A and B are shown apart, each in its own frame.
Chain A
Amino acid sequence: MNVVVCVKQVPDTESAIKVKPDGSGIIKDDLKYVMNPYDEYGIEEALRIKEKFGGVVTILCMGPGRAVETIRTGLAMGADQAVQLDDPAFEGGDAFATAKTLAEALKGIEYDLIFCGKQAIDDDLAQVGASLAELLRLPQVSLIQKLEIADDKKSATVHRQVEGGIEILKVSLPAVLTTQKGLNEPRYASLPGIMKAKKKPLDVKNLAALGLSSDSVGCAGSKSIITKYTPPPPRAAGKIIEGEGPQETVPKLVKLLREEAKMI
C-alpha cells in the first residue's frame, strides 16, 4: 500500500497572530511554525498501514523554504520520502488552487490512498481534501476516526463522526480520507528517526516542474480572494455575580441565563 499524506506547515497555536496594519495579511516575522496537527494523524495512520501491509509513505507539502522543517518532522516520524511544492507562484492560493496544485503533483506519485488533515488550523477552510478528491475523481470520506483496510486492499471500512453518532462507510480505494483527532495517537519523532530523515529523498518541485501555468495556481488561480484581514474583536469582560453564597447568586445567574443570554 502506497500512501500519500498531504501536509501543511502552519503557525503554532501558541504564536500570537498579528494582522498587518493595512489588513493585507498577517505579520509573519515572529511566527513559529509547526505541522498542522490534523496532518499528524494522517502520517501516523499511513505509518501503521505501512507497518501492516508494506509500501511507501510519501509526504506531499506545498510551502515555501521553511516548510522543509515540517517535512523533515514527518520523515523523522517514519515517512519514506517527500515532495515539496515550492514556487512564489503558489503563494496566496485558496483551497481550490492548492488542491489543483497538489492534484498535479500527485500525477507523478504512486498511491493507493491519500490522507489530508480535516482542515488546516491557520485558515480553517476544510476544503482542500474534498477539492482534491473531486479533481482526482476519487471517492472521499472526511473526518475519519477509524480505518480498516480490507485484506485485498481494494476497499476500506471507515468510521466518521456525525452528530450524535458514528457513521460507518465502506469506500473503494484509492480514496481521499481526511483525518481528525481520535483516529490515533501520533508518534513522536525519535532521535534515530531524525538522523535517518536527513538521508531520505526530498524532491522539490516548482511551477515549471509541475507543468502548470502561473495563472492556474496561487493567488491568480484562486476562485476566492481574501480582501481584508481584521483581528477578532477583543473578548468582552466576564460578569461577576455578587452576592452572599449560592442561595443569593444562583437565582441571579439563572435569571441572567434566561433573560440576557437566553440560553435556558
Chain B
Amino acid sequence: MGNLLVDERDVEFVLHEQLCVEDLCKTEKYKDFTKQDFDMVIEEARKLAVNVLLPTREKGDREGCKYENGKVTVPECFHEAFRLYKEGGWITPTEDPEIGGQGLPFTIFAPIEEYCAAANGALGGYAMLTHGAAKLIEIYGTEEQKKKYMERMYSGEWAGTMCLTEPGAGSDVGATKTIAKKNEDGTYTIMGTKSFITAGEHNLTKNIIHPVLARIQGAPPGTKGISLFLVPKIRVNEDGSLGEDNDVFCSGIEHKLGINGSATTTLNFGDNGRCIGELLGGENEGMKIMFHMMNEARLGVGLQSLGQASSAYLNAVAYAKERLQGASIMSMKDPNAPQVPIINHPDVRRMLLWMKSYVEGMRAFAYYIAYCEDKEVTAKDENEREKYADYIALFTPVCKAFFSDMSFYIIKEAIQVYGGYGYCSEYPVEQLLRDNKIASLYEGANGIQALDLVARKLGMKKGGVLMNFLTDMNSFIEANKSNETLKSYIEGFEKAKNSLAEVSMHFGQIARGPDFIIPIINAYPYLEVFGMVALGWMLLWQATIADKKLKEIMAKEGALDQESIRKLISGNKDAAFYSGKIAAAKFYANTVLPTVISKVRAIKSGDKSVVEIAEESFAS
C-alpha cells in the first residue's frame, strides 16, 4: 500500500476510467493540457500532502494556537508548510493564468484538495479561505481592489477570511448587527463583533483581508439589507505598502474539540471607531456575493470530509492487516488455533467494506460535482451550461451535509476497527474524528443544508433540475440492466432511485397543503436518501467499468474458474482493484440501498411527533 491518505489508484480510476477527464482537453478552455499534465500535478500534490502537510497534522493538534494580547500564534510547523504550499502555487490551480493561476480543470483540483485535507484539514483552512476571499474580489471587485488585494492574496502573501457569524447571528445570517457608516470619501466605518472567524488573526501572513457582512445604516431588515465590505487588518497605502492598523482587534480564540491548529477567533471591528472598510459590489448585495464564497466553501467542506474519511479508512485497513487478535472463525473449536490478523474476521471486514463503499462513492460523487463545474464552463450551448450549473446548486447541500456526517461515521468505524487503540492519541484516527466534527457545523449547519435542499433546490425550475438528475440515472439503468454480472444490483439501485423519485414527488404534492410541515420535518432524512442514491449511482457506474476491465484481464490471463480468478487477484494489482470495486458496489446495493426504501417509507408515514411533542415533554 502506498500513502495512507488517499488511494492513488482510485483517484486514477475516477478521473480517467470513469469521468474520462482527458476529454476535457478537447475543449478550447483546456486545450493546452494533456493527461500527463494532470497526472504530474496530482503526483506533486500527493508529495506535498505526504511530505510537507502530513508531518504537521499531529504536531499542529498538540501545539494548537496561542492567544496573547490580541495576537494569535499558529503552530510553529505551519509556517514552513504554508510557505511551501503558497510558493508551489497551490492556492490557485484553477485560476486564470492571466492572474497568476494555472487554469487547471476543477476536476483536477478535487483530488488536490482531497489530498491536502486528508493530510491536514486545520492547515488547509488558511489557504482555502484565502482563496475564497480572493475569488470574491476577482468576481465582484473593482480593478483597484483587485490590484490592491486580490493578487497578494492569490499569491499567499496575505490571507483572507469570511466574516458572517456573530454571537446573535449564526444560522440566521439575516440577524447581522455589524454596522457600516458611509464616510465622505466613499469608504465605510465598520462597527461590530464577529465570532467563530476562522483564521481571523494569525502570524502566517503580514496582512489579513476580511470580507465582512454588515448593515449599512438605514438598510432594510433581514438578508436584503446586508452588504459586504473588505476590511484589511492593516490598512494598505496607495503605493501598496502597509499603513497603520485598521482597528480590528482579536479579543480571543475558542478552545475546541478539534482543528486545534486552526485559529477560531472573535474579532472586534471598530472598538475605537477607526475601522475602515471598502464596499465590495453594490450596496445590499452582500448575501448574494457572499453566497459565492459559501458555495465554494461548502463543496470544500465536502472534499475536506472525504479526505479525512479516506485517511481514516486507509489507516484502518493497514491496521487490520497487522493486528493479531483472535483465531479464525473457521477454527473456532481449536483452542490452539493461532491468532490471525483481524482483517480475517467477518465483522471487521463488514466495517471495512462499508467504509470502502462510502469513501469511494463519495470520492466519485465529489469529483463528479467538480466535473460538472468543468462541463459548465466548457458547455457547447446555454442548455448544457444551465444543466450543469443547476446540478452544482442541487448537489452542493448534499456534498456538504451528507459527506460531513458520513465521514464522521466512517472515522468512528475506523476507531472501532482499531479497538481500544483507536481511542488513544497514539494512533491518528482519534484526531481525525475530532478534526472532522466541525464539518457538519460550519458553512451552514447540516440541518440548514437539508432545508436548502428541500425548500430551495428541489423546486428549482419546477422540479426540472431533479428530473434531469433522475433522467441521467434512468439512462444509466437502461444502458446497463442487461449486464449479466451486475443485473440484480442494478435492479436494486433502480428501486432505490424510484423511491427517491417517489418521495420527491410526494413532497411536491404536499408542499402547499396542510402537510407542508412533513418535508420540513424530514428535510434531513430526505437529504440522506438523496445522498445514498447518488452514491449508489456512482458505485454501480464504477462497477460496470470495473466488470468490463476485470473480464478483459481474466480473458487475457486465461483465468476462468474461481480458483484461478482468486490467484489472479492475489498477483495482479489491477485485477485486485477492479474486483474490489465490484465488491463495494455489490455490498452497497445489497445492504445499503434497501434501507433507502425503508427510510422513504418512514418519511411517507407522515409522522409529526417532532412538532407535536410539547417542549415540556422533552426532559423533566
The residues in B between 445 and 492 inclusive whose CB is less than 8 angstroms from any CB of A are: none
* Chain A residues, Cβ within 8 Å of B40: 69, 72-73, 76, 189, 194
Given contacts A30-B573, A72-B36, contact A191 B88 (CB under 8 A): yes
Given contacts A69-B36, A69-B40, contact A14 B87 (CB under 8 A): no
Report Cα–Cα, A198/B573, bound state, in Å: 31
B93→A194 contact, CB < 8 A: no
**Is the CB of B90 closer than 8 A to any CB of chain A?**
yes
**Is the CB of A53 closer than 8 A to any CB of chain B?**
no
Report Cα–Cα, A73/B92, bound state, in Å: 20
* Chain A residues, Cβ within 8 Å of B48: 188
B44→A191 contact, CB < 8 A: yes
Report Cα–Cα, A90/B42, bound state, in Å: 31
**Closest chain B CB from A66 CB (angstroms):** 11
Q: Which partner residue on chain A sits nearest B102 by CB separation?
A: A191
Q: Which partner residue on chain A sits nearest B1 by CB separation?
A: A14
**Is the CB of B21 closer than 8 A to any CB of chain A?**
no
Q: Which partner residue on chain B sits nearest A68 by CB separation?
A: B36
Instruction: Count how many pairs of residues, one from A and one from B, have CB atoms less than 8 Å apart in the complex.
Output: 46
Report Cα–Cα, A190/B84, bound state, in Å: 9
Report Cα–Cα, A212/B92, bound state, in Å: 47
- Contact-residue bracket for chain A: 10 to 19
* Chain B residues, Cβ within 8 Å of A30: 572-574
The residues in A between 204 and 251 inclusive whose CB is less than 8 angstroms from any CB of B are: none
- Of the candidates A14, A76, A194, the one having the most CB atoms from chain B within 10 angstroms of its own CB is A194
**Is the CB of A254 closer than 8 A to any CB of chain B?**
no
* Chain B residues, Cβ within 8 Å of A14: 2
Report Cα–Cα, A69/B574, bound state, in Å: 21
* Chain A residues, Cβ within 8 Å of B87: 190
Q: Which partner residue on chain A sits nearest B90 by CB separation?
A: A191
**Is the CB of A195 closer than 8 A to any CB of chain B?**
yes
* Chain A residues, Cβ within 8 Å of B39: 69
* Chain A residues, Cβ within 8 Å of B36: 69, 72
**Closest chain B CB from A98 CB (angstroms):** 26
The residues in B between 82 and 136 inclusive whose CB is less than 8 angstroms from any CB of A are: 84, 87-90, 92-93, 97, 102, 104
Report Cα–Cα, A255/B52, bound state, in Å: 44
Q: Which partner residue on chain A sits nearest B100 by CB separation?
A: A192
- Of the candidates B2, B37, B40, B97, the one having the most CB atoms from chain A within 10 angstroms of its own CB is B40
Interface string of A67-80 (1 = CB under 8 A from B): 00100110010000
Interface string of A163-193 (1 = CB under 8 A from B): 0000000000000000000000000111110
Q: Which partner residue on chain B sits nearest A192 by CB separation?
A: B89
Report Cα–Cα, A191/B104, bound state, in Å: 10
* Chain A residues, Cβ within 8 Å of B51: 188
**Is the CB of B41 closer than 8 A to any CB of chain A?**
yes
**Is the CB of B47 closer than 8 A to any CB of chain A?**
yes
* Chain B residues, Cβ within 8 Å of A76: 40, 44
* Chain A residues, Cβ within 8 Å of B89: 190-192
* Chain A residues, Cβ within 8 Å of B37: 194-195, 198
Given contacts A14-B2, A69-B36, A73-B40, contact A191 B93 (CB under 8 A): yes
A195's contact among B84, B90, B102, by CB below 8 Å, is which?
A: B102
Report Cα–Cα, A189/B573, bound state, in Å: 29
Report Cα–Cα, A72/B43, bound state, in Å: 12
Given contacts A69-B36, A72-B36, contact A189 B102 (CB under 8 A): no
The residues in B between 45 and 103 inclusive whose CB is less than 8 angstroms from any CB of A are: 47-48, 51-52, 84, 87-90, 92-93, 97, 102
**Closest chain A CB from B29 CB (angstroms):** 15
B41→A194 contact, CB < 8 A: yes
* Chain A residues, Cβ within 8 Å of B572: 30
Report Cα–Cα, A64/B167, bound state, in Å: 63
* Chain B residues, Cβ within 8 Å of A72: 36, 40
**Closest chain B CB from A226 CB (angstroms):** 24
* Chain B residues, Cβ within 8 Å of A198: 37
Report Cα–Cα, A76/B52, bound state, in Å: 18
Interface string of B558-591 (1 = CB under 8 A from A): 0000000000000011100000000000000000
* Chain A residues, Cβ within 8 Å of B92: 191
A189→B2 contact, CB < 8 A: no
A188→B2 contact, CB < 8 A: no
A190→B2 contact, CB < 8 A: no
**Closest chain A CB from B494 CB (angstroms):** 36
A191→B2 contact, CB < 8 A: no
* Chain A residues, Cβ within 8 Å of B97: 195
Q: Which partner residue on chain B sits nearest A32 by CB separation?
A: B2
**Closest chain B CB from A228 CB (angstroms):** 21
Given contacts A14-B2, A69-B36, A73-B40, contact A188 B102 (CB under 8 A): no
Q: Which partner residue on chain A sits nearest B84 by CB separation?
A: A188
Report Cα–Cα, A188/B88, bound state, in Å: 8
A188's contact among B52, B93, B573, by CB below 8 Å, is which?
A: B52
**Chain B interfacial positions (CB closer than 8 Å to A):** 2, 36-37, 39-41, 44, 47-48, 51-52, 84, 87-90, 92-93, 97, 102, 104, 572-574
15 interchain pairs, CB-CB under 8 A: A30-B572, A30-B574, A69-B39, A73-B40, A188-B47, A188-B51, A189-B88, A190-B89, A191-B44, A191-B88, A191-B89, A191-B102, A191-B104, A194-B40, A194-B102
**Chain A interfacial positions (CB closer than 8 Å to B):** 14, 30, 32, 69, 72-73, 76, 188-192, 194-195, 198
Task: Give 9 nearest A-B pairs by CB, closest first.
Answer: A191-B89, A190-B88, A30-B573, A191-B102, A192-B89, A190-B89, A189-B44, A14-B2, A194-B40
